[in-house]
Amino acid sequence: MKNLTLKQLRYFEALARDGRFRRAAGSCAVSQPALSMQIKELEQELGSELFERSAREVKLTPFGQTFALRVRDILRAVDELGEFARASRDSFLTRLRIGIIPTIAPYLLPLVHKRLNKSFAGIQIEVRETHTGKLVHELAQGQLDMAIVALPVSEPSLTELSLFRGRIRAGPAPPGRRKPVPEREALREMRLLLLEEGHCFRDQALSFCKVGAARPREIMEGSSLSTLVQMVGAGIGITLIPEMAVPVETRRAHVSISRFPSPAPRRTIGMVWLNFHPMGNHLPWKLAKARSRLVWRKTSPSAINGGG
């Protein structure tokens, strides 16, 4: 198989991903007949069919599914070589594809974006906001360069770098300054407002409250921290919220948030990236040097929202 080309592999990967010749051709910026011809030549070279074709879509054959896994590894390695060459030549990144979880993105991303633009003049930053599981998958597929998540992720293929530890607070605050935040045992007996399934912060909140198989009436779910805080403001229940979110979310709802007594629950925020990714040689360590600026208690709300 001496005649396989990267062009054929990229066309194959696009068709395997999109499931339609027209859509795959558009993503590759070629005509549909040109893509179809390259796929046909690839199948002839391999001596096996890669796709089952129908009038509306194409599906991978069993051989095609196995072949797709190998092709993605090859294309990711080629892309990493390109990034390595550019980083070595230019001494800085030209593009950064960064993922970030929803319970961090609105509060930390403006500061990180500002820091990256200052450290890497002309860098093109592409942001993807979604759950940790999806970010880990997209890192493995080479669709992202790095992600900012709650640690640990504990994936052998990923390098982790801690940036800071953020406190977790509770709301609403009890009436009267001298009344403490409810103990975690008491929280289990209250109507607890949590993020919906898939958010790692939901799991952290359940773990802190030592909630296992709770009855449905004891837990209500929201799609975002903003939703939870609004529900708290309406007197529906009590929730836990990362301290970094408090300055932003309490401006949108008249809610008083309290700190837990020491030792307060915390979560570790950090970066993850694929082992041996060329970005790991310089970018994470530049941000790590600035970690003191990323610690929430030392950062003003105006700075986080793009101010001074």
Mean model confidence pLDDT for the chain? 79
Over the Cα atoms of the chain, what is R_g? 24
Looking at residue 286, its pLDDT comes to 58
Q: What is the DSSP letter of 297?
A: G
User: Is-same-fold flag (6-77; 85-165+269-304)?
Assistant: no
Nearest to 240 by CA among 223, 218, 256, 225: 225
Query: Using one digit for the tens of pLDDT, what is the confidence trace for 144-203?
Result: 888 999 999 989 889 898 888 888 888 886 665 445 566 766 776 778 888 888 888 888
| Domain 6-77: top CATH class | mainly alpha
- Which class for 292: exposed (0-12), middle (13-18), buried (19 or more C-beta within 10 A)? exposed
Higher-confidence position of 10 and 173: 10
The b-or-e profile of 31-46 (16+ CB within 10 A means b, else e) is eeeebbebbeebbeeb
Higher-confidence position of 124 and 291: 124
Per-domain residue ranges of the chain = 6-77, 85-165+269-304, 166-266
CA distance linking residue 279 with residue 54, whole number of Å: 42
φ, ψ for residue 268 (rounded to 5)?
A: -95, 125
Looking at residue 280, its pLDDT comes to 63
CA distance linking residue 264 with residue 23, whole number of Å: 51
The domain covering 166-266 belongs, at the CATH homologous superfamily level, to Periplasmic binding protein-like II (3.40.190.10)
Asked if residue 75 lies in contact with residue 271, where contact means CB atoms within 8 angstroms, the answer is no
How far does Cα 89 stand from its chain's mean position? 29
Architecture of the 85-165+269-304 domain? 3-Layer(aba) Sandwich (3.40)
Query: Using one digit for the tens of pLDDT, what is the confidence trace for 86-141?
Result: 655 544 567 788 999 999 999 888 878 877 777 777 778 899 999 999 999 999 88
Looking at residue 289, its pLDDT comes to 53
Nearest to 246 by CA among 160, 138, 170, 182: 170
- Work out the percent of the chain whose per-residue pLDDT is above 90: 23
Nearest to 190 by CA among 207, 162, 215, 169: 215
Query: Using one digit for the tens of pLDDT, what is the confidence trace for 232-262?
Result: 888 888 888 998 888 888 887 778 888 887 7
Report if pTM > 0.85.
Answer: no
